[in-house]
Amino acid sequence: MTVITVKNLTISYNKKPAIKGINLEVDEGSIIGILGPNGAGKSTLIKGILGLLPSETGEIKIYGKPVKESLKRIAYIPQKEQFDWDFPINVSEVVMMGRYPYISLFGRPDENDKLIVKEVLEKVEMSDNQFTQIRNLSGGQQQRIFLARALAQESDIYLLDEPFVGVDAKTEKAIFELIKELKEKNKTILIVHHDLSKVKEYFDKVILINQTLVAFGDTDKAFTPELINKAYGGRLTILQKAEQLFKS
Ligand code: ADP
Ligand code: MG
């Protein structure tokens, strides 16, 4: 079943295109990596799918419907820098934001909302920090509560923008285990990611992007040295040279 359809999507900032003519059809129940060099338009693509940016051309359908009608079904973890971590709010308040789509405009969280927040905090092992002000969290804890907020939303699609940035190896593993649990429940997860060494382990499919779509498909077909080099256009660091990823 197709859960996300992107047709001919072009998004520009100040008339300069950041992504051009993107076409995608994403099936249910897979973990998909969005890869490309800095400035390739990965975050723009995610925001475009969410309808957060005006598009120049193109159309997005979520479960066959316009994005606006499907917002409950999409959970979004923004890139960490795009969140105001100095805002005076505590951990459980941030996670409760995941319940907002279910709470009426002047309503209050009910017992069920509170129970869900408690459960997801346990899942990400942050129960002991529920009253901690978010400015006092470590990088790993920040990503854990972002994930908790996304889980609290009980969505079907998860768009995660660099969820492993600034986290320790233990947290990365814990987060990825929870992502795999989502997949087992037939959820669809798109992850912007920059550590190419983990791609084959993590993703069923990859989207290689550099302004235009370079490749989209099963990891073993789309994540090849030729296509990686095409997407990164010589901008890979020595440590990440595409060929080296395929040595073993
Ligand atoms: P990525 O996430 O792949 O690093 P982005 O989607 O953030 O790339 O950015 C794609 C391009 O659009 C870059 O050239 C970036 O400088 C530009 N861009 C991103 N956001 C803005 C913005 N708010 N205003 C102007 N230009 C932007
Ligand atoms: Mg980005």
Q: How far is the CA of 228 from the centre of ligand 2 (A)?
A: 18
Q: How far is the CA of 90 from the centre of ligand 2 (A)?
A: 26
Q: How far is the CA of 7 from the centre of ligand 1 (A)?
A: 20
Encoded amino acid at 233, one letter: G
Alpha helix ranges (H) inside the chain: 42-49, 91-96, 111-123, 139-152, 169-184, 199-202, 219-222, 225-232
What local confidence, expressed as pLDDT, does residue 248 receive? 54
**Average pLDDT of span 122-147:** 96
Least confident of 81-85, 102-106, 163-167, 169-173: 102-106
Q: Does the CB atom of residue 39 touch ligand 1 within 6 A? A: yes
**What backbone torsions phi and psi does residue 133 show, to the nearest 5 degrees?**
-65, 135
What are the tokens at 150?
């996304």
Closest atom of ligand 1 to CA, residue 47? 6
Answer whether 101's CB lies under 8 Å from 153's CB: yes
Q: Is the pLDDT of residue 234 over 80?
A: no
Least confident of 82-86, 116-120, 155-159: 82-86
What are the tokens at 20?
């051009």
How confident is residue 4, by pLDDT bands cut at 50, 70 and 90? very high
What local confidence, expressed as pLDDT, does residue 243 receive? 67
What local confidence, expressed as pLDDT, does residue 238 receive? 52
How confident is residue 216, by pLDDT bands cut at 50, 70 and 90? very high
What local confidence, expressed as pLDDT, does residue 242 receive? 66
How confident is residue 105, by pLDDT bands cut at 50, 70 and 90? confident
Q: Does the CB atom of residue 16 touch ligand 1 within 6 A? A: no
